[in-house]
Each structure stands twice: as structure tokens, then as C-alpha cells.
Structure 1
């Protein structure tokens, strides 16, 4: 589940609890779903902003476009931050600014907006930057690293509260915060009324020829945070079985993945484009098994929220992650047994094969996962924790 959906649900829940909410974001420019735009049409607010309404909540949009040109992306990035500061002229007085990461610069903007309006800033750490970019090898310049680490310390220590999503993240950043009491742990959540168990035989599975196959699914960002080598290897090794790897989404690694599938003639991998959120429960139900394969370089700094939606749909999962990573810790808490080491293609292939042979046991595993998220990670339970934090700050 993306941060956009996460914050949309959180805003709705906080509104139910009596808070007055206004949202500042961009115009849709990535994974655009026409039906979603039709339900939440954008109107021009003024020369620089557009406006829409979501669940009765005013949403102010700064226009941005998806571009493959670096210069255009840099210009849009700068424009967003400048206009975000200018939003003080269109948004009424507020008490709290809640901002997610990344990027770190959003934390800086949220602090200044709160300062200018006499409010307080809460910074929500969804991924740890710049650690993520450094470990991925995307960031090597020592001066830039120093600047970003200084910015990170500034955001953490100027914000009224810093929220991490689990103990692992909290332990990583706690020594970077002078006042430890401002550090809080509030997990992400799932809409358990939307993501519900469904029938394996449904319109999506029939449309894509999945009903008579054992389906292993991944739906989400196709990027650097995932390791695609084990999936490719398993698909090569298990071609003799009636097994399909279903990969749905978009991202920087998708062209490479598409070319690899074609060059290796892996007709047991079905690659589909990004799908509407409302279709995801049916997509999740179409699979016998879901999978997440983390990149070892960034395993400790990221947490794929899709794990909540998978379990909420009562589907079991095979995951490649470190035992003490955020995802590994979560799965251990959930009682998941299908965890394999990072960068171990054979172990991953064997885990998929084992699940295939134990497919009669999978529905019961999925049901236990559903019970786990209902108890601990419903959006109502998590929104209450944010509500308590906000009330304490005020």
C-alpha cells in the first residue's frame, strides 16, 4: 500500500475523530487511474494550486508531471518545495503538520510551515534516508552525504515528534535524536474492510488464465528495493510445474525485468501494469501465495506496507529478508514460517516449491495472517495512536 493511500485513510479516520484536516500534495503524476481522477476531480484554485475534495477534506495540489528528464524532475522538485511554503497563504491556521518521508526536505518544509503558523510538526519515518540511498549505492559523494545527514539531524531534532513504523527503525535513529521522548513507534496499517478474503476463482483470475495454475504474486513497486534475481531463478527452475509468477506494477526496474523475461523466454512469468486499488483484493485472492524479495543493501531501511494487505486478504507469503530486519521482525511476530535468507536463490526456489507441495495448508496460514492484522494493524487502531499523539502534543 503506497504512502498516498495510507495517508488518505489516516486523514479520513482522524476526521471521524473530530479533527479538521487539510491536505497539501502534488497533482497525480504517477500510476494515474482515470476512474480515481473522475471520482476526485481537480479544479484550479489559483495560478499555482489546484484543489479537490477527498471524503469531505480539502486537498490542495501543486502541479507536477512525470518526466524521464532529470532537469525537469529537479525543477518540479524545487517548485514543489517553494510553493509548499507559499501554501501558508491559502491554508488556514493549523495546530499540527504531519509529514511522511522520504524525502528529507519534506521534513524541513513541514517544520517551517508549523513554525510560520504557530503549530507543531510530526515527522513520520517511512524509510530511513539518506541510509537507504547510501546502502543502495545511489549516493556516494561525501559532501552530499554530509549535507543530507545534517538535514536528517535537523529534521529529527526540530520536529515536535518523530514517528517510526517499528522497533527496528526506532533503534536505528534513536541516537540521532537528542530528546529521546519525542521518538514514537506507530505502525502502518491496512483497511481491513477493503482488503478482505476472496475466492481464488474470480473474474481477474479467469481473465488472465490463472484458475488452473499455482500462482505466486507480487503487486507493488518494481524498483531497486526488491531483488528480482531469485524470482527469475525460481521461474527458470520450476518451468516444469503448472506455476505462474504474477508481477503487477511499475517502477524503474520494470524495463529490465521485461527484457529479462523475454530474453529467457519465461512464459511462466506474467507481467502486468499497475492496477486500481479497488481491484487489489480480487488480485490478492487470485494468488495461492504472495512473495516479497528484499534487496540486501536496503533491507534494514525499508518496510513494504503491502505485507499488511496480503495478510488482510488471508493469503500466505514467502519472503526473502533478514531475520532482524523490519519485515523479518514483523513476520516473526505474525508467526510466518516461510522466510528465506537474503540473496539465496536456491533457498527461495525451494521455499516456493515447498509451498506448492503444501498448497492444501496455505488457506489455514492465510486465515491466521488475517486474524493477526485485524487484531494489531487495523486503520482504526493505528489512527487512535496518532490521535493520542496529536492530543498529547497539543
Structure 2
């Protein structure tokens, strides 16, 4: 039986983003006959704290769904700037490295690291080198490009440091997966050989069920007559959700449109403050996994929003669920960026950072049920053809299987 160590700073029970895919991969490999261990952090994203219900998941070794979990404690900053981001990454690196020396065995056949967290890549590379085994990467995002584009104070400094470290990690990998064509181009720009790079688009790791709209609304306590627009997931700098708040203002109170920002993140408190006194927009806590299908079903329109500088970032993980939900999608994203290219032809696209244009398009769609139905059908067909979990999981099993055989 082949043993694999997965190094990632985002894993179960984190409900959004990269954790959904790292958890699915580890459990997939375990079920396929691999023996999998995961070196990871404490559950902190997207809350930027440890929720009370997960306080028992402390440093040490445990198991979940037969997968061995090795957790390290670390700094969890409630707010982010350049200095704090560097401290956060340094804390992750130091503590993952410290814990790995005590708890990680010597009988692994390969190490897989998942980035954007620079620390996961560096620690994964170090362990693989120490054990003399292959080092593989899954590139969900890149911190260097992300920091430069996110608008984070001091982002240029973070970007310079992260790009240098990420470059060394990318070049050290024996093989890697990227999740979008845009990410592939960035990786090749670091000088990585194209033969080492495989593309596997993120698939629908969550099971999205078809829930009755009115029942979903009733369960959430939302008015059935409103035209509901929902944005889910992380509330961070790169989402630029201030744009959505301004769009809500531009909609006007009499439009019968209600916007819900659902999730958590380091911009959550600021967004709540910005929404005060605006009747048609609310910040709502994230729902449990078993309620997520109902949440999406309650929407008339699902929203993706990005800062105008987000050109080379990975695709938002929410897109897979959105497109499977049989609801129309609207995206306020940079023209020509990764998300724009991905959604072109299957979603309504609006230029990022233009709240009046976003408000106008929402009102147009509200008045055009036929167009909404058309977008919902296009998204659903695209998802069935391109985002199938069976296809995505098969590609990962093929990738790992070939590498194990050729080791």
C-alpha cells in the first residue's frame, strides 16, 4: 500500500475555499487504497479565528474519515496587512515544520503540497527532500500574484517575498496540478517545464441538490416576493465586496431587490458597518454544508464579485456549486481575467469596480425572467459537462497513480 503525505493549511472542517478540495482529495485517495496522512493547521478560515465548535481540534494527531490528521497550532490574526501576513506565513512555516519533526514518519512514498499558502509549499518540499521521495504540488492559487492584486496594504512587499519563495517551490516540484489556464501560464512563467504541469479544473466537490425555492426561502425567513441576489464564501480583500454595497445603494429601496452577503472573512466587520442603514443588503453568517443547497436555491441570482486587479488569481471555488444549482449567475469581475474567461457565455458579465453597472444589470435581469432561465440552463449544462465530480476525481486518481507507478 502506497503512503502519501498531504501538506495543506486548509482542511476539514473549514467549509469554503481550498479546504473543500484538499479534504475531498485525501478522502478520495484513502478510499482508493492509499494510506493518507495530512499535515495541516488549526481550522481558521474564513473566520480568522477558531470557532468554539472546533476548539477541540488542537495540535496533535487525530483521524477523520479514516485519514490521519496531524495538526499544528499557529498564529491566527484577526486582521491582515503586510507585516501581519508575513508573521502569519512565518508562524505556519515554523509550526508545521516543528510538528512534522515530531509526528511525521519516514515511510511515505510521496509528498503532495497544496498552495497558495507559501508555508505549505516550503514545508512539503523540505519533508520530501529529507525523506528522499517525490514532491508534487497542487497550485490552487499563488500568494505572490494574489498579494499584488488584492489591494492589501503593503501588498507589493508581500508579493516580492512570496514570488521569490514560490518560485523555488514550483521549480522543486516533480509534478504539479494547476486549476485554470491562467494559472498554468503564470506557473510556466516561473520557468517550470510544461511537461510537469497538468490542468485539472476544480469540480463540484459539494453535492448540490435541487431544493424548492419557496421552501428554501421559508427556512431562511426571507420574503418570497423579493428578487434575491446572493454572494457566498470568503469576505476578504480580493472579493472587493464594497462594490456590492455601493451597488445595493444604487438599486434603490423600492426595487424589491434584496442582496445577501453570506459567509465570513477578514472584511466581515467592515462590511457590516458599511451595510448599516441600507435596507436592501445584509451580511449573513455562513450556513452548514447540509444547508448550502437550500441557500443557493433561495436565490434568484448568484453573484461573484472581484476587485478590478484580480487578473491572474485562481477561479473562485464557489463557481462549481453556483453552476450546479440551476440558478443564473452574474459576475462583476475584471474583463479578460481568469473568472471572466471561465464564465464568458454562461453567466452575465459586468466590469469589476462599477457598482452602477452592476445595479443596472441586476435590475435588467429582474425584469427578464426568460434571460435568467436561459443563464440557469447554460450554467447547469456547462457544469454537467465540465465540472462533474466523477470526472474531476478520476483525473486526480490518474495523476497520483501515474506518478506512484513511475516513482
Please give the TM-score of this superposition, normalised by the length of structure 2.
0.85
Matched, 1:106 2:116: no
Structure-1 residue corresponding to 2:189: 175
Matched, 1:382 2:392: yes
| 2:239 match: secondary structure | coil
Of residues 280, 293, 304 in structure 2, which corresponds to 1:268?
280
Distance (Å, rounded) in 1 between the aligned partners of 2:246 and 2:153: 29
CA contact (8 A) 1:196 1:314 kept: no
**Match among 260, 264, 286 for residue 298 of structure 2:** 286
| Alpha-carbon distance between aligned partners in 2 of 1:324 and 1:225, rounded to the nearest angstrom | 16
**Does residue 202 of the first structure (1) align with residue 212 of the second (2)?**
no
Are residues 236 and 145 of structure 1, via their aligned partners in 2, closer, same or farther at CA, if it must alter by over 3 Å? Answer: closer
Matches within 5 A, 1:14-29: 14-29=29-44
Equivalent in the alignment of 2:10: none
Aligned mates of 1:90, 1:121 — CA distance in 2: 15
Q: How does 1:109-120 map to 2 (within 5 A)?
A: 109-120=123-134
Identify the range of structure 1 (336-345 vs 61-70) with the bigger mean alpha-carbon deviation: 61-70
Residue of structure 2 equivalent to 1:331: 343
Q: 1:81 to 1:12 in 2, by over 3 A?
A: closer
What pairs up with 1:72-111 in 2 under 5 angstroms? 73=88, 76-86=91-101, 89-91=103-105, 93-111=107-125
Contact 1:127 1:302 in 2 (8 A): yes
Question: How far 1:221 moved relative to its partner?
Answer: 0.8
Report what 2:317 is aligned to: 305
Q: What is the CA RMSD across the aligned residues, in angstroms?
A: 2.6
Q: Determine whether 1:129 maps to 2:143.
A: yes
Instruction: Write the distance in 2 (CA, Å) between the matches of 1:99 and 1:225.
Output: 23
How has the CA–CA distance of structure 1 residues 63 and 128 changed in structure 2, closer, same or farther, with 3 Å as cutoff?
closer
Q: Which runs of 5+ in 2 are unaligned?
A: 1-15
1: distance between equivalents of 2:347 and 2:78?
41
Q: Which region of structure 1 is more displaced relative to structure 2, 180-189 or 75-84? A: 75-84
Structure 1, 306-315 or 90-99: larger mean CA deviation: 90-99
Post-superposition Cα deviations, 1:212-253, rounded to whole Å, max 9, x if no partner, equal 211000111111111224322321222211110011111122
- Residue 169 of structure 1, CA deviation: 1.2
CA contact (8 A) 1:164 1:170 kept: yes
Structure 1 residue 95 displacement after superposition: 1.8
How many Å apart are 1:360 and its aligned residue? 4.7
**1:75 Cα shift?**
7.1
Q: Are the counterparts in 1 of residues 89 and 117 from structure 2 also a CA contact under 8 Å? A: no
TM-score normalized by structure 1? 0.87
- Is residue 246 of structure 1 aligned with residue 240 of structure 2? no
How many matched pairs?
Answer: 380
Deviations 1:118-163 (A, max 9, x none): 3212222212231211233447598765543321221111111122
Q: Conserved in 2, the CA contact under 8 Å of 1:248 and 1:273?
A: yes
Output one character per residue of 1:170-210: Cα deviation in whole Å (capped at 9) or x when no partner: 11221212422112211111136x21222111255443323
C-alpha distance in structure 2 between counterparts of 1:107 and 1:375, whole Å: 32
**Which among 323, 326, 331 is matched to residue 319 of structure 1?**
331
Confirm or deny: 8 A CA contact 1:197 1:312 kept in the other structure.
Answer: no
Aligned counterpart in structure 2 of residue 152 of structure 1, from 166, 169, 172 = 166
| Match of residue 55, structure 1, among 62, 65, 73 | 65
Which residue does 1:358 correspond to in 2?
A: 368
Where structure 1 has 5 or more consecutive residues not aligned to the other structure, the ranges are none
Per the alignment, residue 352 of structure 2 pairs with: 342
Which one is further off, 211-220 or 169-178?
Answer: 169-178
The answer to whether 1:255 aligns with 2:258 is no
